[in-house]
């Protein structure tokens, strides 16, 4: 893999953290993993979104910026690759689905100022799964605060990502449909996905791939 900074993203339940960890172990990469479970506003938000959406999104904005700047500024000398399971623009995707218009406009002002200061990834990989598969994965991991997530919310998140991809030209985006894969249970599926994201990036804009399961 010839990427210095790789981002693996996806909707809730897409397997982004699992895949990032698998890549990190194989390539001895520095891992940047989102510490979402430590956010004290997250359970409150799922219980009462209207009341806690703004403090939740502001806290995520501050935490993500702080973590990314610290980790990317202090990369280890002997670790060639850095792999993250989120990027800063994730803040904007979720905020536009949770905040009221006036709150979002204020939030966007903060986001735009901060976003320009961050290093951009060499490749942004988005793992795509249909909403029904995402819901299965969410139910399987059994986090209480995720129990109210439904397909409508997941669809809005997906549409937010795709809209952002279409409007930005800061980094190449690889959208991979992994509907036919289970890269945890089947090593050959992981190998297919790993080989795809490890290829030299000699293109710009958005590239889409569908990986079929091997016979």
As annotated, the active-site residues are 85
What is the C-alpha separation between 64 and 95, in angstroms, rounded?
13
Residue pair 167/205 in contact (Cβ under 8 Å)? The answer is no
Provide Rg for the chain, Cα atoms.
17
Q: Is 201 exposed, middle or buried (0-12, 13-18, 19+ CB in 10 A)?
A: middle
Residue pair 164/124 in contact (Cβ under 8 Å)? The answer is no
Nearest to 35 by CA among 6, 4, 71, 5: 71
Q: Using alpha carbons, list the distances in angstroms from residue 170 to 7, 23, 112, 116, 164.
A: 13, 23, 13, 10, 11
Residue pair 137/146 in contact (Cβ under 8 Å)? The answer is no
In sequence order, which ranges of the chain are alpha helices (DSSP H)? 16-27, 42-47, 49-73, 90-98, 101-115, 131-141, 151-167, 187-197
């Amino acid at each position: 893999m010839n990427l210095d900074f790789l981002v693996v993203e996806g909707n809730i339940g897409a397997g982004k953290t699992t895949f990032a960890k698998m890549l990190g172990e194989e390539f001895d990469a520095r891992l940047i993993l989102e510490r979402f479970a430590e956010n004290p506003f997250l359970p409150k938000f799922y219980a009462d979104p209207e009341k806690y959406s703004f403090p939740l999104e502001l806290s995520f904005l501050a935490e993500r910026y702080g973590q990314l700047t610290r980790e990317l500024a202090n990369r280890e000398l002997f670790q060639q690759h850095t792999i993250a399971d989120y990027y800063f623009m994730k803040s904007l995707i979720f905020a536009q689905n949770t905040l009221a218009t006036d709150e979002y406009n204020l939030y966007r002002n903060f986001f735009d100022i901060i976003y320009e200061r961050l290093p951009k990834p060499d490749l942004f990989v988005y793992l795509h799964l249909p909403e029904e598969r995402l819901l299965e994965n969410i139910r399987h991991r059994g986090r209480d605060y995720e129990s109210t997530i439904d397909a409508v919310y997941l669809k809005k998140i997906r549409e937010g990502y795709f809209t952002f991809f279409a409007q930005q030209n800061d980094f190449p985006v690889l959208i991979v449909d992994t509907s036919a894969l289970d890269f945890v249970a089947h090593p050959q599926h992981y190998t297919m996905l790993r080989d795809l994201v490890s290829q030299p990036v000699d293109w710009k804009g958005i590239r889409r791939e569908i990986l079929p399961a091997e016979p």
